[in-house]
Amino acid sequence: MKKTISSISAVVTLAALFVMPMEAGAKEMSGKDLAFDRKLGNCLACHMISGGGQPGNVGPPLIAMKARFTRDALRAQIWDATVKNPNSMMPPFGRHKALSESQIDKITDYIHSL
């Protein structure tokens, strides 16, 4: 029983990293704000992004993005990376509704500009 509670706690802690979309009436955030926000996009948890503090190293560094992705392919990756790679560790932000369509568009535009 103790191990089960520990496992559930770990899942809840991980899930807390990826909070639901902003509530109505919250201030408008830029793509960079969303990508760097530890409660929303949280891209820095896994990726190195220029100007971001305490980046993770689970995912690839987000550099030269226009050379690596079309905008549509990048948006699809952010929406649900498991479509292209079923073993991806990247959360399916769109499929799980962790981010709104607008937030995903803003993050896509920002990341694609890197």
Domain ranges of the chain: 2-112
Quick one: pLDDT at residue 32? 94
For the chain, percent of residues with pLDDT exceeding 90: 61
Hey, what are 43's tokens? Answer: 């891209």
Residue 47 burial class via C-beta count within 10 angstroms: exposed 0-12, middle 13-18, buried 19 and up: buried
Question: Does the pTM of the predicted model rise above 0.75?
Answer: no
Domain 2-112 maps to which CATH number in 1.10.760.10, 1.10.10.10, 1.10.3720.10, 1.10.3210.10? 1.10.760.10
Task: Evaluate if residue 12 carries a pLDDT over 60.
Answer: no
Q: For all residues of the chain together, what is the average pLDDT? A: 82
pLDDT band for 77, please (50, 70, 90 cuts).
very high
Q: What is the pLDDT of residues 53-76, one digit of tens each?
A: 888 888 999 999 999 999 999 999
